[in-house]
Amino acid sequence: MKRRVVVTGVGAVTGYGFGADALWAGLVSGRSAVRPVEWTGWESAPVQVAAPVPEKISGNGWRNLQMARIALREALGKKRPQGAGGLAAAIGWPGPEEKKGEDPLGILAREFSLTGPREESLAACAASTQVIGEALRLVREGEADWMVAGGADGRVHPGGLLGYDRLGALARGYRERPAEACRPFGREKNGFVVGEGAAFLVLEEKSRAEKRGAKIYAEICGAAEGCDAFRITDPGEDAVEAAFCVESCVEDAGMRAGEVDAVVCHGTGTPKNDRAEARALRQVFGERQPWVNAPKARIGHLSMACGAVESVIAVLSLRENCLPCTVTESWTEDAECPVRMVRAPGVKGVRSVLKPSFGFGGQNACLLFRQG
Amino acid sequence: MKTAEEFREVVRKAVAETLRRKEPVRDEQRVTADLGAESIDRIDLTFRLEEAVQKALDEKVLFAEPEPTVADLAERLKQMVEGR
């Protein structure tokens, strides 16, 4: 019998500020963390909005490493688990103006005395989802007592915005209406907004967590990964591999598709990605579609860290028994991307939440959480 | 109920432990500008203060601008504990 694994700590840094509580409060408030870019000389640039962390960040190393450190510290909390903990992470590289860094996982492992297994991924936007899945397997199979898993990334700098814009991936304009810029699965969707942040989750074998009286946020019960093997920047159009990844994840959890209540979608707001994701969900869930939300509309796209932050949202949704709305009142469904989008004020009765991520390179990863 | 001086002592002790300072921490010192606290220290310090007062604290309120001195932190902590 598989060992069961639970989430006993979460930490986040996002456009809503420091802390998982700030993230949740921001989401349920209906506010957006997307705002106009205020850089000098940027007035005529095509991309006018982003979702930076509003608080001043200080510490050793480059910004992504600093954000990782803050989220990781919060996740470990006041009383960390006993035994050798491992680290699984996807940490973005330094920005163009920053000093080059070395081995972020080594730095974090040393600072937090994480002497257990170490896993790393650079699988683009699926990276942190993938490492959380790896961490689940290590704890489930007894190779680690516990793991802390997640990621940190952000490209809120001119090079980041212009680079994504050249790929045609970003929403242009919207300076006067930043909250409307990213419209996952909606009409008039025209790209994503660049965000930044970090998130980590502590994964621990269930009986050990119960024995030490740890707070259990949720159970992490399934993980899967795969690859479209199609194009670098486009998802497979038939979504067969994306659907297979989601199905494998549900199967890994020992559940049936009909038992999945909700999905915290990858939902970038780019036409091809949304179409493929909606198609994958349709293939897996058929007529009984679970509720979905798409946090990138509110906090931007955190590149390699998006899956970790969205996993924290999934876990908090289970804790609060509510899937929050992430789109504005003006959002309208696109018939080409039919999904069961949560509208304000959110949906109650959430017992299981799926977290898929679909990255450049056709890299797919998926996690499943349920009430612990 | 703790006095204002007792709250200041709680904060001085927590700041000294968080920043591993051997020199005394003074009430008029600002946590970041004068004592060199980094972002992660704010999280650490919040955990230590939560332990000391046995209450969940909002780190955002605790460290809201303008940057608090040790005495400001103690006052904010007192208000949070007393539910004001």
pLDDT at site A187: 94
Active site residue A221: no
Across the interface, do A18 and B38 touch by the CB < 8 Å criterion? no
Q: Considering only alpha carbons, which residue of chain A is nearest residue B52?
A: A78
Q: What percentage of chain A carries pLDDT values higher than 70?
A: 100
Looking at the predicted structure, is the pLDDT value of residue B84 above 80?
no
Q: Which two tokens stand for residue B20?
A: 């591993």
Active site residue A182: no
Across the interface, do B32 and A58 touch by the CB < 8 Å criterion? yes
pTM of the model: 0.94
Look at the block and give the residue holding tokens 């962390």: A53
The one-letter amino acid code at A108 reads L
Q: State the fold for domain A222-370.
A: Peroxisomal Thiolase; Chain A, domain 1 (3.40.47)
Looking at the predicted structure, is the pLDDT value of residue A100 above 90?
no
Residues in A closer than 8 angstroms to B59, CB to CB, are: 18-19
Q: For residue A234, what pLDDT band results from cuts at 50, 70 and 90? A: confident
pLDDT at site A102: 85
pLDDT at site A57: 93
Across the interface, do A19 and B50 touch by the CB < 8 Å criterion? no
Residue A339, SS3 per DSSP: coil
- Give B51-59 contacts, CB < 8 A, sequence gap 24+: B51/A78, B52/B10, B52/B13, B52/B14, B53/B10, B53/B77, B53/B80, B53/B81, B55/B80, B55/B81, B58/A21, B59/A18, B59/A19
Q: Where are the alpha helices (DSSP H) in A30-86?
A: 63-76
Burial-class residue A207 by CB neighbours within 10 Å (0-12, 13-18, 19+).
exposed
Handedness of CA A35, A39, A40, A42 (dihedral sign): negative
Looking at the predicted structure, is the pLDDT value of residue A96 above 90?
no
Candidates A17, A77, A78; nearest CB to B60 = A17
Active site residue A125: yes
Q: Beta strands of A257-330 (E only): which ranges?
A: 262-264, 291-293, 322-323
Q: Which two tokens stand for residue A50?
A: 């982003």
Looking at the predicted structure, is the pLDDT value of residue B19 above 90?
yes
For the B4-81 domain, the top CATH level (class) is mainly alpha
Q: What is the pLDDT of residues A243-270, one digit of tens each?
A: 999 999 999 999 999 999 999 999 999 9
pLDDT at site B5: 94
Domain boundaries, chain A: 5-211, 222-370
Looking at the predicted structure, is the pLDDT value of residue A362 above 90?
no
pLDDT at site A1: 67
Q: What is the pLDDT of residues A125-174, one digit of tens each?
A: 999 999 999 999 999 999 999 999 999 999 999 999 999 999 999 999 99
Q: In this predicted model, which residue has the larger pLDDT, A230 or A19? A: A19
Q: For residue A106, what pLDDT band results from cuts at 50, 70 and 90? A: very high
Q: For residue B60, what pLDDT band results from cuts at 50, 70 and 90? A: confident
Asked if the C-beta of B20 comes within 8 angstroms of chain A's C-beta atoms, the answer is no
Burial-class residue A269 by CB neighbours within 10 Å (0-12, 13-18, 19+).
buried
Candidates A17, A58, A77; nearest CB to B38 = A58
CATH superfamily of A5-211: Thiolase/Chalcone synthase (3.40.47.10)
Cross-strand bridge partners of residue A153: A197
ipTM: 0.80
Q: Beta strands of A98-145 (E only): which ranges?
A: 118-120
Asked if the C-beta of B5 comes within 8 angstroms of chain A's C-beta atoms, the answer is no
Phi-psi region of A134 (alpha: psi -120 to 50; beta: other; left: phi over 0): alpha
What is the spatial distance between Cα A75 and Cα A27, in angstroms, rounded to a whole number? Answer: 19
The one-letter amino acid code at A141 reads E
Q: Which two tokens stand for residue A358?
A: 């679909």
Across the interface, do A69 and B50 touch by the CB < 8 Å criterion? no
Q: Which residues contact A38 (CB under 8 A, 6 or more apart)?
A: none
Q: Give how far Cα A255 sits from Cα of A82, A141, A221, A246, A280, Å.
A: 31, 19, 9, 12, 18
Q: Catalytic: which of A157, A266, A322, A366?
A: A266
Q: What is the pLDDT of residues A310-343, one digit of tens each?
A: 999 999 999 999 999 999 999 999 999 999 999 9
Q: What is the pLDDT of residues A36-51, one digit of tens each?
A: 999 999 999 999 999 9
| Average pLDDT of span A290-303 | 98
CA-nearest of A301, A321, A78, A4 to B57 is: A78
Candidates A17, A58, A74; nearest CB to B43 = A74
| Average pLDDT of span A180-189 | 95
What is the spatial distance between Cα A220 and Cα B8, in angstroms, rounded to a whole number? Answer: 42
